[in-house]
Amino acid sequence: MAIKNIISIIITNYVFRRFLFFLLIIWIASTAIFLIPRLSGQDPVKEKLLLEAQRGGHMQAGLEEMAASYSAKFGLDKPLIVQYGNYMKDLVRFDFGPSIAYFPKSVNSLIGDSVVWTFGLLSVCTFLAFFIGTIAGALLGWPKSPNFLQYVFMPILTLAAIPYYLLALVLIYIFAFNLDWFPLFGGYAVAQLPEWSFSFIGQVIHHAILPASSIVLASLGFWALGMRGMMVTNQGEDFMIAAEAKGLRSIRLFFNYAVRNAILPQTTALALSLGTVFTGSVLVEVIFRYPGLGNTLYQAIKLNDFFVIRGMIFIVIVTLGLATFIIDVTYPLLDPRVSYKKGG
Amino acid sequence: MATANATTQDLTAKTFRRRLEDFWRYVKRNPSLGVGLGLFLSLFLFVAIGYATYEVERYRPLSGGPDLAPFEKDSYNPVTRANGYILGTDRQGRDVMAVMIAGIPLTLQIGLIAGLIGITVGTILAFMAAYYGGWIDQVISTIVDVGLTIPGILILIVIAVNLQSGLSVPQMGLAVSAVAWVWPARTIRAQVLVMREQLYVEIARLSGTSGFSIMFKEMLPNLAPYIGASLVGSVASAILASVGLEALGLGPFDSPTLGMTIYWNIQFSSILHGMWWWFGPPILVLAMIFVGLFLMTAGLDEWSNPRLRKRV
């Protein structure tokens, strides 16, 4: 009986159910990535190898070796279900095989080289956009804030509709090409090797300003619109009327009552927005030739380097799933109305 | 006979005019809908006038000399093209003006195909989930939740990489529709859940109407405005996804869509060469499309969902 109880507690446990959902995301995504190439009836890896063999280009040396290891590794003659099992085994060990274009470099080392850049850029951008956008939205949805704010923020809100990379193209033309305030491309100066020094860090920041501003400017509106909507909804609630009747000061009403309640849905939106921010930034990185994941993905697509594409997409989905899981699990700590138990 | 005809014509003309006036009055109260429609109307006019008066065939590569600024003399066709082209040419000799005229309808076509399929599939799934409930709802909702967490464009990249051999514009629309149903399914399901509890549905159920005809004869017409409003949003996200894929080099290479124009711009670093006439127009037009659809979604939302009308 005790065991039965424990099992039922585990199954109804909120954290456990979120974790199952996280596993489900990874399973569905990896299965889709496995099945799509089979459904299309083409084998990009084989095609790429053939193409390179015909060209007799710079990869001639590694070709034989690679083709052999490739067919041995994936056992392409074996039935689909065995291939699927092997593929899953590799994924669990985070082994994505070698890159085709940069053989014998592994997919993992290619991703490892670029992940720091993307992680740094996107975490700063997401934080800034969330912070500025939420404040802007709170002020826009507050009846006592000055009118001129409407005219300042409204044009920025419409930027929410525009993809990051269009803004990036405009910014690079104005501030890098015409005004020459910022470098045109790269993560640091061309002749520089990455090192831990103040001048290098300065360079990195100088290079990151334009890509970061295009991401922040274009994603501000999303946060501002959500926050404004919640502030407006809260306006007529009983707790606001009660607080106002108590004669609390306006600033206290704003922060402790209106903002405190409106900000909760914003944190849930944070989980869903991470994917949008990553996919949106891919082309920004390409345009600025920023040495991050997006640019590596773009190069892999151009070179038809399927292992790199697959490995990177898998890792991004795992990261997003994990971030969603963490935000879902911490959410009840922020909002006591959502309980950990089922049906809460 | 003739007079009777004339009066009916008069009447229809009058009601039409009244309708138009009503519509105009509504648009004035709902400026985002008006501005959005205005942006689209100007794009349609641009395309229509362009097709009527311009040599749109010049969107093909090698139509003129490469890298010509607007009105720069074309040394390849010095006799016929002494005055050059209104918007110049790109690195491969496409007339940028012709590319814009031909590209706008192609990009909208991709969005419309994917958006319509997405809304249709999403609506069917939403009705099944919300009306039947139980395990059907559980399965559909879980799949939708998973789909919302996985960015659609990543799955689209895998699809497009594997289809690379010559995608056409309609195929591009089909590919994008593979992920376009997720968001409509989620939002329409929520609406159906609310509607299911309403009295007229209850009465239809009590009078023995089948589930199928309750869903599609009773509830669907009532949800039509909401579904119509979501269609605009779904077309917008389909265009966003397709332009993103094209800019990554995964689009229809033979077609002058706006996304492919962005791709060629990135590929040939038009910005580093200062060729503003090449990258400027597609950026402007795409911004008009996205802002227009965004404003129309906001406006239609207010129209189809009167609870939002409280305050702007």
ipTM for the assembly: 0.82
Q: What is the pLDDT of residues A179-227, one digit of tens each?
A: 888 888 777 776 667 777 777 888 888 888 899 999 999 888 889 888 8
Q: Residue A159's pLDDT is what? A: 84
Give CA–CA dist A229/B32, Å, rounded. Answer: 16
Q: Residue B306's pLDDT is what? A: 59
List the single residue in A with minimal CA-CA distance to B151. Answer: A275
B162, A37: Cβ pair inside 8 Å?
yes
User: What is the residue-averaged pLDDT of chain A?
Assistant: 80
Three-state SS for chain A is CHHHHHHHHHHHCHHHHHHHHHHHHHHHHHHHHHHHHHHHCCCHHHHHHHHHHHHCCCCHHHHHHHHHHHHHHHCCCCCHHHHHHHHHHHHHCCCCCECCCCCCCEHHHHHHHHHHHHHHHHHHHHHHHHHHHHHHHHHHCCCCCCCHHHHHHHHHHHHHHCCHHHHHHHHHHHHHHHCCCCCCCCCCCCCCCCCCCHHHHHHHHHHHHHHHHHHHHHHHHHHHHHHHHHHHHHHCCHHHHHHHHCCCCHHHHHHHHHHHHHHHHHHHHHHHHHHHHHHHHHHHHHHHCCCCHHHHHHHHHHCCCHHHHHHHHHHHHHHHHHHHHHHHHHHHHHCCCCCCCCCC
A29, B279: Cβ pair inside 8 Å?
no
B272, A321: Cβ pair inside 8 Å?
no
A282, B155: Cβ pair inside 8 Å?
no
Which two tokens mark A239?
């707790």
Q: Residue B176's pLDDT is what? A: 92
Q: Residue B1's pLDDT is what? A: 47
Nearest CA distance, A302 vs chain B (angstrom): 7
- pLDDT at residue A12 above 80? no
Q: Residue A129's pLDDT is what? A: 92
Q: Residue A66's pLDDT is what? A: 67
Question: For residue B1, with 0-12 CB atoms within 10 Å meaning exposed, 13-18 middle and 19 or more buried, which class applies?
Answer: exposed
Domain boundaries, chain B: 101-308
Just give the CATH number of B101-308.
1.10.3720.10
Q: What is the pLDDT of residues A315-334, one digit of tens each?
A: 888 988 888 888 888 877 77
For chain B, which ranges sit under pLDDT 70? 1-9, 164-166, 305-312
**Which residues of chain A lie closer than 8 angstroms to B271, CB-CB?**
169, 172-173, 177, 184
**B 201-260 → A contacts, CB under 8 A:** 236, 240, 243-244, 247-250
Which two tokens mark B117?
């399929």
Q: Residue A74's pLDDT is what? A: 57
- pLDDT at residue A341 above 60? no
Residue B151, CA atoms < 13 Å, CB-side half-sphere: 28
Q: What is the pLDDT of residues A221-263, one digit of tens each?
A: 889 888 888 888 887 788 888 888 888 888 888 888 888 888 8
Q: Residue A342's pLDDT is what? A: 45
**Which residues of chain B lie closer than 8 angstroms to A29, CB-CB?**
146, 150, 155
Interface A:B, Cβ pairs < 8 A? 126
Yes or no: say if A283 and A164 are a contact pair by the CB < 8 Å rule: yes
Could you tell me which residue, A88 or A64, shows the higher pLDDT?
A88
A165, B247: Cβ pair inside 8 Å?
yes
Q: What is the pLDDT of residues A29-75, one digit of tens each?
A: 999 888 888 776 666 566 666 666 666 555 555 666 666 666 665 56
**Nearest Cα to B72, choosing from B80, B81, B62, B59?**
B81
